[in-house]
């Protein structure tokens, strides 16, 4: 029996005797179906400042570049030749994004925030690379389904960085309670934060904190990370009422408003837009499309633009509105969105 397992069993026994376990259970929230967003693909990740596989007799996989930092860490049993080495991982994937939640210490990545042997703290940083650009609603961290082990579920906070903006957040436990009354999984909910409206293809996680029944703890485990969110719309240029300014829309005369979706060297609006999905108006969700005409170059850049016509009265504009929004999809299913100035008259 390893020293780590012995220590875990001792701590479990203390928890039950002291009654601390009951206190912990009342603090756990089961999320169930609370996360309503769609899964976001993670195509790889980097890790800075992590013990290598075998630290604490926990084993993980990584298929990218592993670079030793020259630092070492002690204080836990090591079950591999390099398990006590601190390394940086880059350009690959592995345990954290392989789609599997391990039921043992094999296939679960053990992190630590204790001081390294050089006396300086170990500060792990995980960078998730997403398979596209998304708005992020939640980050789910699965500690591993290890039954009575107390390390999964120890995580209780982290700092999330998206496009240079950061916010420190507490985690919310979720999932079934294990034998010591701890949920092994944690969620960071971004839906009511400023980060939820920042489109990104990368998420950085750092400043991890962990605890065991209210006491600070220097280790936490991750078997899998998933991200919930929604696809961010591809920004397109539009020109409301091409050739005129201001772009006046009379909402009482029952007429139509021309809107040009502008092409670029990387985007051919005349060929790539699914015309049947186009909506236009005050918010961009108004179903006001009348028809789309033949492509024409409205801005003189020699590229064919798509000009569509929308029912002015169906755009839900009100006096004082200053912008009109167009939304839709490409034929490949990628959301698009653009906006231009308007002057509403009646």
Same domain, yes or no: 105 and 200: yes
Same domain, yes or no: 196 and 58: yes
Instruction: State the total domains in the chain.
Output: 2
List Cα–Cα distances, 123 to 48, 60, 239, in angstroms.
Answer: 8, 18, 49
Q: What letter does residue 300 receive in the DSSP assignment? A: S
Beta strand residue intervals within 172-268, DSSP E: 172-177, 183-189, 200-212, 215-217, 219-222, 224-231, 234-235, 238-240, 248-250, 256-261
- Residue 21's pLDDT is 28
Helix axes 3-18, 20-27, angle to 10 degrees: 90
Q: What letter does residue 293 receive in the DSSP assignment? A: -
- Residue 36's pLDDT is 40
Same domain, yes or no: 158 and 116: yes
Q: Which CATH number goes with the domain that contains 295?
A: 2.60.40
Same domain, yes or no: 135 and 252: no
Same domain, yes or no: 56 and 128: yes
Single residue among 214, 231, 248 that ends a domain in this structure: 231
Same domain, yes or no: 246 and 222: no
- Residue 37's pLDDT is 60
How far is the C-alpha of 87 from the C-alpha of 65, rounded, in Å? 10
Structural domain that includes position 99: 3-231
Single residue among 231, 266, 282 that ends a domain in this structure: 231
Same domain, yes or no: 65 and 210: yes
How many residues are recorded in the chain? 346
Tens of each residue's pLDDT in the chain, 346 residues = 332 333 332 332 222 222 222 222 222 222 222 334 689 999 999 999 999 999 999 999 999 999 999 999 999 999 999 999 999 999 999 999 999 999 999 999 999 999 999 999 999 999 999 998 888 999 999 999 998 888 999 999 999 999 999 999 999 999 989 888 889 999 999 998 999 888 899 999 999 999 988 899 999 999 999 999 988 878 899 999 999 999 999 998 889 999 999 999 989 999 999 999 999 999 999 999 999 999 999 999 999 999 999 999 999 999 999 999 999 999 988 889 999 999 999 8
Same domain, yes or no: 80 and 190: yes
List Cα–Cα distances, 279 to 40, 308, 326, 329, 341, in angstroms.
Answer: 25, 10, 6, 10, 16
How far is the C-alpha of 149 from the C-alpha of 105, rounded, in Å? 10
Count Cβ atoms below 10 Å from residue 162 Cβ, excluding itself: 23
Q: Which CATH number goes with the domain that contains 192?
A: 2.60.120.1190
Same domain, yes or no: 112 and 249: no
- Residue 91's pLDDT is 98
Single residue among 200, 231, 262 that ends a domain in this structure: 231
Cα diameter, the chain: 83
How far is the C-alpha of 60 from the C-alpha of 85, rounded, in Å? 14
Same domain, yes or no: 265 and 216: no
Same domain, yes or no: 62 and 176: yes
């Amino acid at each position: 029996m390893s020293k780590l397992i012995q220590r875990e069993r001792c701590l479990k026994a203390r928890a039950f005797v002291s009654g601390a376990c009951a206190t912990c259970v009342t603090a756990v929230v089961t999320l169930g179906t609370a996360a309503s967003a769609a899964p976001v693909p993670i195509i790889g990740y980097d890790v800075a400042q992590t013990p290598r596989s075998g630290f604490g007799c926990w084993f993980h996989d990584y298929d990218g570049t592993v670079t030793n930092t020259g630092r070492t860490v002690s204080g836990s049993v090591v079950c591999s030749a390099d398990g006590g080495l601190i390394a940086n991982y880059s350009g690959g994937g592995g345990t954290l994004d392989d789609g599997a939640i391990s039921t043992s210490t094999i296939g679960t990545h053990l992190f630590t925030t204790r001081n390294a042997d050089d006396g300086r703290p170990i500060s792990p940083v995980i960078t998730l690379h997403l398979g596209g650009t998304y708005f992020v609603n939640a980050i789910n961290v699965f500690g591993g389904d290890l039954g009575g082990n107390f390390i999964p579920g120890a995580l209780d906070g982290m700092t999330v960085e998206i496009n240079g903006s950061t916010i420190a957040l507490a985690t919310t436990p979720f999932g079934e309670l294990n034998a010591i009354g701890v949920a092994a999984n944690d969620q960071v909910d971004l839906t009511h934060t400023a980060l939820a409206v920042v489109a990104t293809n990368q998420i950085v996680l750092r400043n991890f904190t962990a605890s065991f029944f209210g006491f600070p703890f220097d280790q936490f485990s991750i078997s899998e990370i998933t991200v919930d969110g929604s696809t961010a719309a591809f920004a397109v240029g539009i020109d409301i009422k091409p050739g005129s300014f201001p772009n006046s829309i009379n909402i009482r005369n029952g007429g139509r408003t021309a809107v040009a979706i502008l092409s670029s060297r990387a985007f051919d609006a005349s060929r790539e837009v699914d015309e049947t999905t186009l909506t236009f108006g005050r918010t961009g969700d108004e179903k006001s499309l009348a028809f789309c005409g033949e492509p024409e170059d409205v801005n003189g850049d020699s590229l064919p633009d798509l000009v569509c016509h929308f029912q002015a009265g169906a755009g839900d504009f009100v006096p004082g509105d200053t912008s009109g929004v167009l939304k839709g999809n490409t034929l490949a299913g990628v959301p698009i969105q653009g906006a231009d100035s308007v002057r509403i008259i009646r």
